[in-house]
Amino acid sequence: MNLLKNQWFLIGAGLCGILILVVLFLVLPNGEVTQPIAFNHKKHRDNNVPCIVCHRFYKEEKRAGIPPVNVCITCHEDVIYPTPEKIKIQNYFSQHKAIPWQQVYKVPGHVFFSHRLHVNRGNLACKSCHGEVGQLEQPVTKQLIPLKMKYCIDCHKTVETIDNPYECIRCHR
């Protein structure tokens, strides 16, 4: 009890608490991920590489697909102008390892989204949901448009869908 009456002890405890909060704020993740390779979307787009070269399935499958290393190596095989990122790709390729891309655009497990439906039937451009990813010079670390249910519903209110846009089992099954 004597300890609690000591004002220096109380001040010290308070300062420690603030310090811990500051450290936690800096350390805890803020929703951003780190990508293994500094991928430049804009540069690829400017060189006329369409989305489908790397995201190969977005027209035919439910998922769009992230590029495996052998897709990257088709263009980045040369050793004449090695850059740090090229060397990383070549290392992954020679070691037969997959590039550990971090998935940024994902929905919870009880939500079922289909790329092929939205692209073929809805005629949506990638940027409708993904934002201006094509203009990014830095790797994608967070969703440019936060994918929440409200975003889906807001769009579905305005367009004509196959059946009732509010049919819950379309997405939650």
Partner 1 sequence: MPRWGMVIDLNTCTGCGACIAACKNENNVAYSSPEEAENGRALSWINLLPRYEGEFPNIHIQYYPMLCMQCDNPPCIKVCPVRATYKADNGIVAQIYPRCIGCRYCMAACPYTVKYFNWYEPKWEPEMIKSFNPDVSLRPKGVVEKCTFCHHRLIEAREEAMVEGIEFQEEQFVPACVETCPARAMHFGDLDDPNSMVSKLANSSRAVRFLEDLGTEPKVYYLSASEKLI
Binding site for partner 1 (CB under 8 A): 59-60, 62, 109-110, 112, 114, 116-117, 120-121, 162-164, 167-170, 172-173
User: Are residues 107 and 53 in contact, defined by beta-carbon separation less than 8 angstroms?
Assistant: no
Distance CA 48, CA 125 (A): 17
**What stretch of H or E contains 4?**
helix 2-5
Distance CA 120, CA 59 (A): 7
Closest separation in Å from C-beta 31 to partner 1: 21
Distance CA 140, CA 40 (A): 9
Nearer to partner 1 (CB atom), residue 148 or residue 172: 172
Nearer to partner 1 (CB atom), residue 79 or residue 168: 168
Closest separation in Å from C-beta 142 to partner 1: 24
Helix intervals (H) in 47-172: 51-54, 69-75, 84-94, 115-116, 127-130, 149-158
Closest separation in Å from C-beta 50 to partner 1: 19
Closest separation in Å from C-beta 164 to partner 1: 5
Nearer to partner 1 (CB atom), residue 50 or residue 109: 109
Closest separation in Å from C-beta 144 to partner 1: 25
Nearer to partner 1 (CB atom), residue 86 or residue 118: 118
Phi, psi of 61 (to 5 degrees): -120, 175
First to last CA, the chain: 59
Nearer to partner 1 (CB atom), residue 66 or residue 144: 66
Distance CA 145, CA 135 (A): 14
